[in-house]
Chains A and B, each alone.
Chain A
Amino acid sequence: MDKLIYMDNAATTRVLPEVLEAMKPYFTEDFWNPASAYKTAGETAKKIEEAREVIAKAIGAQGKEIFFTAGGSESDNWAIKGVADALKDKGNHIITTKIEHHAVLHTCEFLEKHGYEVTYLPVDENGLVSPEELEKAIKPTTILVSIMFANNEIGTIEPIKELGKIAHDHGIYFHTDAVQAFGHEKIDVNEMNIDLLSSSAHKLNGPKGIGFLYIRKGVKLSNLIHGGGQENGRRAGTTNSAGVIGYAKATEIALERMEKRSSYEKKLRDKLIDRVLAEIPYTRLNGHREQRLSNNVSFCFRFIEGESLLIMLNQKGICASSGSACTSGSLDPSHVLLAIGLPHEIAHGSVRLTLSEDTTEEDIDYIAESLKQIVDRLRSMSPLYEDFVKKHKEA
């Protein structure tokens, strides 16, 4: 296989060479523990504070409101468990949605086992959360609303500003899992009424193993990782200096290129969507047509199953992912596809293709052609398609 087209940038991205270069010295030369007392360590600590400022500025926050973690999952866990614990005397009700990442959903399920009550808001067929539904779900005991900025599977961008305002009107904290959005979409925590925000560096060409939680000044939140006094006494663990430096560099580059990159990605995204919908019958686009991440394409092809599709795409050098049960090891297809109202069988035939600025127009044409051939082939093997064709012949 000589050609490899990476279309799984929502899963992770490659570290940019500039980011790697910025990180390198912190492994071998500036390896000091930034919490140590000697001067060289102090210099590393200073660099980390500069990096914190860069990241804070990217969302309109203050440096002291940014707390580094090991990634998106830890940030989500911290935000939700931290508020649940800190406000347990005020209430025990949390509102989230049916389409959150498992880092949020499983954390909420954990809390349910410990006496908390969780409302999972439904979404419409495009994956949008309705502000009215949020308003209706609020109770006197509600202590947190957690709604993702953009969905990782179907790319739909939620009306965060509006949803955040509803939470604030009721004096409730608003958390957003922005793992797919930070560095890709414009975010302003003040304008958008966000109190807590999770992000992870490896989704924006930074390294794996580093994330942050934005905690608005004054927000009450218990600690999750106990130990040393790092991160202003809020998150224990020796600072991942190289990770933080790489994160800041990746953020800087992402912001600088955001506009250009997003319009380039959108052009390719729309080309792929338009071609596939026009050329492959019985295909459905998942997620909102316009209000979606610039790099996300998600289809369901009727009568075929996602894992087979992924293997065949892989044989043609295309790396993608699927919400099919067979790729996750469970019997149920993606909870997101079920939440937007798809029957199991349709949800099994899903494929997610997430591009980057490295994707070319030729790649898009090659992918569209490959999908056509593969879907044709798998349909020719499908008893469901056979039944469908026979039925339509009779009709």
Chain B
Amino acid sequence: MSQVTEYSEKVMDHFTNPRNMGEIENAAGVGTVGNAKCGDIMRMYLDIDESGIVREAKFKTFGCGAAVATSSMATELVKGKTVQEALEVTNKAVMEALDGLPPVKVHCSLLAEQAIHAALWDYAEKNGITIEGLKPPVNDIDETEEFYRMQGE
């Protein structure tokens, strides 16, 4: 676990004490990104008020230490922001806020950015609005269902 020892203190802190972990019932926007095959899935819940401000953000993540930490930091960064500002939270911003990531873990920060976008997309769709600069999310899950059906579970 060589790269684990390369985690910054901030990454370890956000992994050990993740901020905003959980669900939001009837969230304004929910987005799930990632791929179980690669070992990372992030789900982000956003509560957005009438004036378009992100009031609450929560997450659930299946993944490594960096995946949990980047999810946690991403929720922190979008809270209190307008939808447009939230869209501008980049993976670089997430990484910088965590004092960096080992090179092989950079994709986790990209996933966090995509999770924000996916939740915003869901919000836009539900409300029939268009958010400028937002692209539809990609997600694909997986082969596991079939495996457990085969095992008779």
Is there an interface contact between B62 and A303, defined as CB atoms closer than 8 Å?
yes
Is there an interface contact between B18 and A381, defined as CB atoms closer than 8 Å?
yes
- The residue that B62 contacts in the complex, of A305, A325, A329, A341, with Cβ under 8 A, is A305
Is there an interface contact between B147 and A326, defined as CB atoms closer than 8 Å?
no
- Residues of B contacting A321 in the complex (Cβ-Cβ under 8 angstroms): 1
- The residue that A307 contacts in the complex, of B16, B60, B65, with Cβ under 8 A, is B65
- The residue that B39 contacts in the complex, of A326, A383, A385, with Cβ under 8 A, is A326
- The residue that A383 contacts in the complex, of B3, B18, B37, B62, with Cβ under 8 A, is B62
Q: Which of B2, B42, B63, B104 has the most CB of A within 10 A?
A: B63
Q: Which residues of A contact B (CB under 8 A)?
A: 303-305, 307-308, 310-311, 315, 321-322, 324-327, 329, 331, 333, 341-346, 348, 380-386
Q: Scoring B residues 9 to 42 as 1 if CB is less than 8 Å from chain A, else 0, what string do you get?
A: 0001001101001010000000010001111111
Is there an interface contact between B3 and A329, defined as CB atoms closer than 8 Å?
yes
Is there an interface contact between A311 and B60, defined as CB atoms closer than 8 Å?
no
Is residue B144 contacting chain A, with contact meaning CB distance below 8 A? yes
- The residue that B16 contacts in the complex, of A315, A385, A386, with Cβ under 8 A, is A315
- The residue that B142 contacts in the complex, of A331, A345, A382, with Cβ under 8 A, is A345
- Residues of B contacting A315 in the complex (Cβ-Cβ under 8 angstroms): 16
Q: What are 28 inter-chain pairs, A to B, with CB distance below 8 A?
A: A305-B39, A307-B4, A307-B64, A310-B1, A310-B4, A311-B15, A315-B16, A321-B1, A324-B39, A325-B38, A326-B39, A326-B65, A327-B1, A327-B4, A343-B36, A343-B144, A344-B39, A345-B36, A345-B39, A345-B144, A346-B147, A348-B39, A381-B61, A383-B60, A383-B62, A384-B41, A386-B43, A386-B60
A336 vs B45: C-alpha distance when bound (angstroms): 36
Query: Given A311-B4, A327-B1, are A333 and B39 also a contact pair (CB < 8 Å)?
Result: yes
Is residue B98 contacting chain A, with contact meaning CB distance below 8 A? no
Is residue B95 contacting chain A, with contact meaning CB distance below 8 A? no
- Residues of A contacting B66 in the complex (Cβ-Cβ under 8 angstroms): 326
Return B67 CB to nearest CB of chain A, in Å.
7
A324 vs B64: C-alpha distance when bound (angstroms): 9
- Residues of A contacting B65 in the complex (Cβ-Cβ under 8 angstroms): 307-308, 311, 326
- Residues of A contacting B50 in the complex (Cβ-Cβ under 8 angstroms): none
Is residue B54 contacting chain A, with contact meaning CB distance below 8 A? no
Return A378 CB to nearest CB of chain B, in Å.
8
Q: Chain B residue with minimal CB distance to A348?
A: B39
Is there an interface contact between A308 and B63, defined as CB atoms closer than 8 Å?
yes
Query: Given A343-B142, A345-B142, A386-B23, are A304 and B39 also a contact pair (CB < 8 Å)?
Result: no
- Residues of B contacting A307 in the complex (Cβ-Cβ under 8 angstroms): 1, 4, 64-65
Is there an interface contact between A381 and B60, defined as CB atoms closer than 8 Å?
yes
Is there an interface contact between A329 and B2, defined as CB atoms closer than 8 Å?
yes
- Residues of B contacting A326 in the complex (Cβ-Cβ under 8 angstroms): 39, 63-66
Main secondary structure of the interface of B (DSSP, over half): mixed
Return A324 CB to nearest CB of chain B, in Å.
6
Return B141 CB to nearest CB of chain A, in Å.
8
Return B75 CB to nearest CB of chain A, in Å.
13
- Residues of B contacting A382 in the complex (Cβ-Cβ under 8 angstroms): 60-62
Is residue B68 contacting chain A, with contact meaning CB distance below 8 A? yes
Query: Given A344-B143, A346-B144, A386-B23, are A329 and B104 also a contact pair (CB < 8 Å)?
Result: yes
A310 vs B64: C-alpha distance when bound (angstroms): 9
- The residue that A325 contacts in the complex, of B12, B15, B39, B146, with Cβ under 8 A, is B39
A86 vs B32: C-alpha distance when bound (angstroms): 56
A310 vs B67: C-alpha distance when bound (angstroms): 14
A187 vs B38: C-alpha distance when bound (angstroms): 39
A329 vs B39: C-alpha distance when bound (angstroms): 12
Is there an interface contact between A383 and B42, defined as CB atoms closer than 8 Å?
yes
- Residues of A contacting B60 in the complex (Cβ-Cβ under 8 angstroms): 381-383, 386
Which residues of chain B from 107 to 153 have any CB-CB distance to chain A below 8 Å in the complex?
Answer: 142-144, 146-147
- Residues of B contacting A342 in the complex (Cβ-Cβ under 8 angstroms): 147
Return B142 CB to nearest CB of chain A, in Å.
6
Q: Chain A residue with minimal CB distance to B1?
A: A327
A304 vs B144: C-alpha distance when bound (angstroms): 13
- The residue that B61 contacts in the complex, of A333, A345, A348, A383, with Cβ under 8 A, is A383
Query: Given A327-B4, A346-B147, are A304 and B64 also a contact pair (CB < 8 Å)?
Result: no
- The residue that B32 contacts in the complex, of A311, A345, A380, A383, with Cβ under 8 A, is A383
Return B43 CB to nearest CB of chain A, in Å.
4
Q: Can you add 12 more A-B contacts, CB < 8 Å, to A324-B39, A385-B62? A: A303-B62, A305-B39, A305-B62, A305-B64, A308-B64, A325-B38, A326-B39, A343-B36, A344-B142, A345-B37, A381-B18, A383-B43
